[in-house]
């Protein structure tokens, strides 16, 4: 096959050279108003071409590579921490957030699939803050209570979705230690 990024023949969808050129993770912490700390591994701008493959037929393969490369800087946990993917709906035949949560497994995190679902799936893309505030995600949580967990999502924009998810999980006795996202729109 050919590398998605440089077009050269490659055994993987993103070749070794492109991975080391473009996918070296640079962890960065952004603290949201609610106090939730969000660790991103890339700025949105540098990752956008790959993130836009999300809805394409090979999007799952790209996301799997992103999970491998991004989390390389994540330390292995020594006590049970769950990884809760934000709204892991398999809308494109796979769930990109579930794929990311699975990528954390090798670092000792236990994915909790299908546990945090949004009842409201209206798209926030390109919408102003007022629209996002008026149309909350309305998350429902059906996972275990009284656990330590991290939230997992691909992109953080305003942080409203993660903060809403955080509130819902807290109501269910989940101790949210932070969130892992691939890319932060706020980062330059």
| Smaller CB separation from Zn ion, 6 or 122 | 6
Q: Which stretch binds Zn ion (CB under 5 A): 1-9, 64-72, 116-124, 147-155?
A: 1-9
Q: Residue 142, exposed/middle/buried by CB under 10 A (0-12, 13-18, 19+)?
A: exposed
Q: Toward Zn ion, which CB reaches closer, 69 or 87?
A: 69
Residue 5 binds Zn ion, judged by CB under 5 A: yes
Nearer Cβ to Zn ion (17/90): 17
* Binding of Zn ion by 98 (CB under 5 A): no
Give me the helix-helix angle, 96-103 and 59-70, nearest 10°.
30
Contact 86, 116 (CB under 8 A): yes
Could you tell me the smallest distance in angstroms from the CB atom of residue 18 to Zn ion? 3
Sequence-distant (6+) residues with CB within 8 A of 48 are: 183
The smaller minimum CB distance to Zn ion, of residues 19 and 102, is found at 19
Query: Can you tell me the distance from the alpha carbon of 5 to that of 120, in angstroms, rounded to the nearest whole number?
Result: 34
Q: How far is the CB of 97 from Zn ion (least distance, A)?
A: 26
User: Near Zn ion by CB under 5 A, which window of 3-11, 39-47, 68-76, 90-98?
Assistant: 3-11
Scan residues 15-74 and list those touching Zn ion (CB under 5 A). Answer: 15, 18
Residues 84, 115: contact at Cβ < 8 Å?
A: yes
Q: Which of 1, 6, 90, 133 binds Zn ion (CB under 5 A)?
A: 6
Q: How far is the CB of 53 from Zn ion (least distance, A)?
A: 14
One of 3, 86, 176, 182 touching Zn ion (CB under 5 A): 3
Minimum gap (Å) between residue 23 Cβ and Zn ion: 10
Residue numbers at the binding site for Zn ion (CB under 5 A): 3, 5-6, 15, 18
């Amino acid at each position: 096959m050919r590398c998605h990024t440089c077009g050269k023949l490659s055994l993987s969808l993103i070749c070794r050279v492109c991975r080391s050129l473009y996918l070296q993770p640079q962890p960065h912490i952004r603290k949201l108003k609610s106090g939730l700390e969000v660790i991103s591994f890339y700025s949105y701008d540098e990752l956008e071409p790959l993130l836009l493959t999300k809805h394409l037929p090979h999007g799952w393969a790209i996301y799997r590579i992103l999970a491998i490369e991004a989390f390389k800087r994540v330390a292995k946990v020594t006590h049970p921490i769950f990884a809760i993917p934000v709204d892991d709906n398999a809308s494109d035949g796979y769930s990109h957030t579930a794929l990311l949560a699975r990528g954390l497994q090798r670092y000792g995190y236990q994915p909790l699939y299908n546990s945090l679902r949004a009842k409201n799936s209206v798209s926030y893309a390109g919408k102003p803050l007022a629209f996002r505030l008026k149309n909350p995600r309305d998350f429902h949580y059906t996972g275990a209570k009284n656990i330590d967990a991290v939230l997992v999502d691909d992109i953080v924009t305003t942080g409203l979705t993660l903060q809403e998810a955080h509130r819902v999980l807290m109501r269910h006795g989940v101790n949210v230690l932070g969130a892992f996202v691939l890319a932060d729109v706020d980062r330059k």
